[in-house]
Amino acid sequence: MACGRARTVRVNGLDLALAEWGGGPGTPVVLLHSLAAHRHWWDWTAPGWAAGRRVVALDFRGHGASAHASPPAYTFEDYAGDVVGVLDALGIGRARLLGHSMGGFVGALVAARHPARLEALVIADMLTSWTADQASAAARQASRPSPVFASLGEAGARFRLQPPDTRASSAVLRHLGESGVRATAQGSWQLAFDRAVFLHPPVDPWPFLPKIACPALVIHGESSGLMDRAAAERVAAAIPRSTARTLPGAHHHLVLDAPEAFVAAVDGWLAGAVTAPG
């Protein structure tokens, strides 16, 4: 796995961290992670798109190595504004935008608000509704103290996915745990993300999905508990130029469960859906 070249850009008053792979004239690929995750979730897929093009994985505000917003400002509009700001800061006019879970929601919002900036959109296993029980669970997560780890090794060993179902190896989970913490002044380690990120607005993509003009792929894990085939097809039906696909054997965290198959599925769809050069 190749972690990419680390870089920081100043966007909307915050220092946002990202990683870059590759280079060349092809349309850049921009990767957006899920809630409470970070850019390293793309370490196993990003190199697959890096031949002849630039690949960028962003740490959202309040996540990974990016700055926390103070006071907390973690709406989907905030994240979408940061994505556009990153495109501007990097000199990227048009991109292929790929987002997993919350990243898929944010990517769809960017596509709807800024149609000229996207050549193609991939929505991977996105939540499409928000219940009172989910809101209560999010509030509990936000109020919990962040765990403290004595070492990077302990952070990696104790890392668990939510939801927990996965085919990812223990080495993958250890890497995510070790790359998702920050050192404290006391010499210990804490989760990097701001727990206030859980207090986002209700998930409701239906008003803006029909406004997405670029080709879109909606792909879900075959065994996902967050987006089943019916939900993927409903999202695809709401987007004018969209296709729904299932990634066999994968759960919600499909970019970790089957990274090579995910890259192949995206590339196969792009070959038929995007006619522009690159």
pLDDT at 124: 98
State residue 278's pLDDT score: 55
C-alpha 68/C-alpha 85 separation (Å) is: 16
Residue 219, token pair as written in the block: 């792909």
Q: What is the CATH number of the domain that holds 27?
A: 3.40.50.1820
Whole-prediction pTM: 0.97
Q: Is residue 140 part of a domain?
A: no
Quote the CA–CA distance of 263 and 265 in Å, as a whole number.
6
Mean pLDDT, range 241-251, rounded to an integer: 98
* Percentage of the chain exceeding pLDDT 90: 97
Domain count of the fold of the chain: 1
Is there a domain that residue 109 lies in?
yes
Residues 2-20 pLDDT 10s: 789 999 999 999 999 999 9
Evaluate whether residue 165 is within a structural domain: no
Burial class (CB in 10 A: 0-12, 13-18, 19+), 212: buried
The number of beta carbons lying within 10 Å of the beta carbon of residue 25 is 10
Per the domain annotation, does 36 fall within a domain? yes
Any domain includes 116: yes
pLDDT in tens, 70-84: 999 999 999 999 999
> Helices in the chain by DSSP H: which ranges?
76-89, 102-113, 132-143, 152-158, 170-179, 229-238, 254-257, 259-273
Would you state the pLDDT for residue 1? 60
In a domain, 94, yes or no: yes
Residue 73 and residue 85: Cα distance in Å, rounded? 16
Give the whole-angstrom CA distance, residue 33 versus residue 58.
Answer: 8
Which positions ≥6 away from 157 have C-beta within 8 Å? 174, 177
Residue 13 lies in a domain: yes
CA nearest to 80, candidates 105, 62, 98, 56: 105
Reduced to 3 states (helix: H, G, I; strand: E, B; else coil), residue 270 is helix
| Domain carrying residue 207 | 5-131+197-273
CB contact at 8 A, 70 and 93: no
Give the per-residue pLDDT at 276: 52
146: DSSP letter: P
Please report, as a single letter, which amino acid is at residue 136.
S
What whole-number percentage of the chain has pLDDT above 70? 98
What count of Cα atoms within 13 Å lies in the side-chain half-sphere of residue 27?
17
pLDDT at 275 over 80: no
Alpha-carbon distance of 232 to 103, in angstroms, equals 15
Q: Are 214 and 94 in contact (CB under 8 A)?
A: no
In a domain, 23, yes or no: yes
What is the pLDDT of the chain when averaged over all its residues? 96
pLDDT of 153-201, one tens digit each?
999 999 999 999 999 999 999 999 999 999 999 999 999 999 999 999 9
The per-residue pLDDT for range 26-49, each reduced to its tens digit, is: 999 999 999 999 999 999 999 999
Q: Sign (positive/negative) of CA torsion 156, 157, 163, 165?
A: positive
